[in-house]
Amino acid sequence: MKVLKFGGTSVGSAARIKEVAKLICDGEQKIVVLSAMSGTTNSLVEIADYFYKNNASGALERINALEQKYEDVIEELYSKTSSKSDALELVKRHFDYLRTFSKAVFTIFEEKAILAQGELISTGMFQIYLEEQGESSVLLPALDYMRIDKNSEPDTAYIAENLAKQLEVNPGKTYYITQGYICRNFYGEIDNLQRGGSDYTASLVGAAIKADEIQIWTDIDGMHNNDPRFVEGTKPVPYLNFEEAAELAYFGAKILHPTCILPAKLNNIPVRLLNTMDSKAPGTLISSKSNKSGIEAVAAKDGITAIKIKSGRMLLAYGFLRKVFEIFESYQTPIDMVTTSEVGVSVTIDNTKNLKEIVDNLKKLGTVSVDENMVIICVVGDLQPENVGFQSKAVHALKDIPVRMISYGGSNYNVSFLINADDKKAALKALSASLFN
């Protein structure tokens, strides 16, 4: 069985929802993961923000405006009066629920319950549409099988067992529809897999059922060789291996959620990136196969902070790096890039929640300096040392840009550069010009 995931734009209007239904209804059994309609999760974030600020009237205004959008979609989407009234009832139920928060104490738990409504509505509406079309389909409630553990990691055994149960109690259906992004946490509360997490749902579902293929359908024809939001003339990359795709996703290629490749890779399930707007386009196939063709693509990760620790005590000493890393570990802050010299070490982080405490502790080890507002530019491909010349090409492309750190050798698949955020666009353009044109 295949797992197909459709993102927000793919289900962003009545016309798009009809297109998706046409695309999936080929008689082949499949699981379909849907995001919320585009813009909805952002609106829900805003609504939660109003509630946090105790501004119930602001929240109600946003809720009512969003509800109106759904009513318009319903008017256009369904042809039968009975489907329309089913969908209106569904939507009203979810919006009435949103309105109840104006009287409640508002915490992160309520916020997460609010954020879950987008996917609950889109899948409910889609199921009603498939029923209207006479298709054999059923909803699989993600909140009944998708779960994260105490460390916010997916509980893969639980997911596999409970998804299998869900499939068992709904035998013989052709299309299984489920919500992306949403899940329960260790305590049974409603939670989510972070923004953009529907891709992650698809790969977790794919891994749980040992799918033949995971397809991520979006609004572009596959992984492009550079970020199309910043560079013109980017092109789709036909093949990537799991490592290359994971590096690109982690380092900013928004088309994939950062962690979504891992479950597919662990189970050796190919991932295909496809375009809902141009379903015949070949897209990108991500698999375990290596393609010996040098540099494949470039991506950029924003919001990076660099921390440099200089210390005479590092000279000829052992255990210094351990002490540095332990400080980051104790504040549960992942490190992205590391570079060292005989007298100092530079690291980058993107989670600055505990920056002050981390810096205070690092000061016990040496002189500390912090640079905020940095970007990691990641050049990805088959970059083994034997493929001589690719680093010099990448370095040469950035000849006019101040580079704060360079990292290569952590894997055979990437070389990363740390630069100022202001130079990001120029750097991406320069790399495209010299690597791909």
- Interface residues with ligand ADP (CB under 6 A) are 7-10, 35, 196, 218-220, 223-224, 227-229, 253-255, 299
Least spacing, CB of residue 38 vs ligand ASP, in Å: 8
The set of residues, in sequence order, having a beta carbon less than 8 Å from that of 281 and lying 6+ positions away, is: 221, 222, 236, 274, 275
Cβ-proximal residues to 373 (8 Å cutoff; 6+ apart), any chain: 305, 420, 421
Which of 12, 118, 196, 206 binds Mg ion (CB under 5 A)? It is 196
Does 8 bind ligand ASP (CB under 6 A)? Our answer is yes
Min. distance of Cβ 196 from ligand ASP in angstroms?
5
In the complex with ligand ADP, which residue's Cβ is closer, 112 or 224?
224
- The count of residues interacting with ligand ASP (CB under 6 A) is 12
In terms of CB distance, is 22 or 195 closer to ligand ASP?
195
Q: How far is the CB of 12 from ligand ASP (least distance, A)?
A: 11
Q: Judged by CB, which is closer to ligand ASP: 180, or 222?
A: 180
| Nearest-approach distance from CB 400 to ligand ADP, in angstroms | 23
User: What is the Cα–Cα distance from 228 to 309, expressed in whole angstroms?
Assistant: 36
Question: Are the C-beta atoms of 252 and 299 separated by less than 8 Å?
Answer: yes
C-alpha distances (whole Å) from 3 to each of 134, 205, 227, 269, 354 are 21, 7, 26, 11, 38
Q: Strands across the sheet with 271-275, in order?
A: 137-140, 175-179, 30-34, 2-6, 213-218, 271-275, 284-287, 239-241
C-beta closer to ligand ADP: residue 4 or 362: 4
Other Cβ atoms closer than 10 A to 247: 24
Among 78, 106, 181, 328, binds ligand ASP (CB under 6 A): 181
Residues in the chain: 437
Distance, in Å, from the CA atom of 179 to the CA atom of 170, rounded to the nearest integer, reads 16
Name the closest residue to ligand ADP (Cβ).
7
CB atoms within 10 A of CB 133: 14
For Mg ion, the closer of residues 7 and 222 by Cβ is: 7
SS3 277: coil
Residue nearest to Mg ion (CB): 196
Give 80: exposed, middle or buried? Use CB within 10 Å, 0-12, 13-18, 19+.
exposed
Residue 363, CA atoms < 13 Å, CB-side half-sphere? 8
- Binding flag, residue 206, Mg ion (CB under 5 A): no
Strands 284-287 and 239-241: parallel
Q: Which of residues 198 and 287 has its CB atom nearest to Mg ion in the complex?
A: 198
| Residue 124 binds ligand ASP (CB under 6 A) | no
Under rule CB under 6 A, residue 252 binds ligand ASP: no
3-class state of residue 348 by DSSP: strand
**CA-closest candidate to residue 431, choices 224, 246, 218:** 224
Residue 192 gets which letter from DSSP? E
d(CA 309, CA 348): 11
Q: Could you say whether residue 123 binds ligand ASP (CB under 6 A)?
A: no
Q: Does 344 bind ligand ASP (CB under 6 A)?
A: no
Of the ranges 24-32, 48-56, 196-204, 220-228, which one interacts with Mg ion (CB under 5 A)? 196-204
CB of 170 to ligand ASP, least distance (A): 24
- Which lies closer to Mg ion via its Cβ, residue 272 or residue 308? 272
Closer to Mg ion by CB, 7 or 236: give it.
7
Q: Give the Cβ contact number of residue 252 at 10 Å.
A: 19
Shortest distance, position 191 Cβ to Mg ion, whole Å: 18
Query: Considering the rule CB under 6 A, would residue 180 count as an interface residue with ligand ASP?
Result: yes
Among 118, 154, 252, 381, binds ligand ASP (CB under 6 A): 118
CA atoms of 220 and 147, how far apart (whole Å):
30
Q: Is 180 in the site for Mg ion (CB under 5 A)?
A: no
Binding to ligand ASP, residues 187-206 (CB under 6 A): 195-198
Q: CB under 6 A: which stretch of 35-43, 258-266, 295-303, 318-326 binds ligand ASP?
A: 35-43
Pick the closer one to ligand ADP by CB: 16 or 308.
16
229 binds, among Mg ion, ligand ADP, ligand ASP, none (CB under 5 to 8 A by kind): ligand ADP
DSSP bridge pairs for 381 = 295
Minimum distance from residue 254 beta carbon to ligand ADP (Å): 4
> How far separated are the first and last CA of the chain, in Å rounded?
39
Contact positions vs Mg ion (CB under 5 A): 7, 196
Contact positions vs ligand ASP (CB under 6 A): 7-8, 35-36, 41, 118, 180-181, 195-198
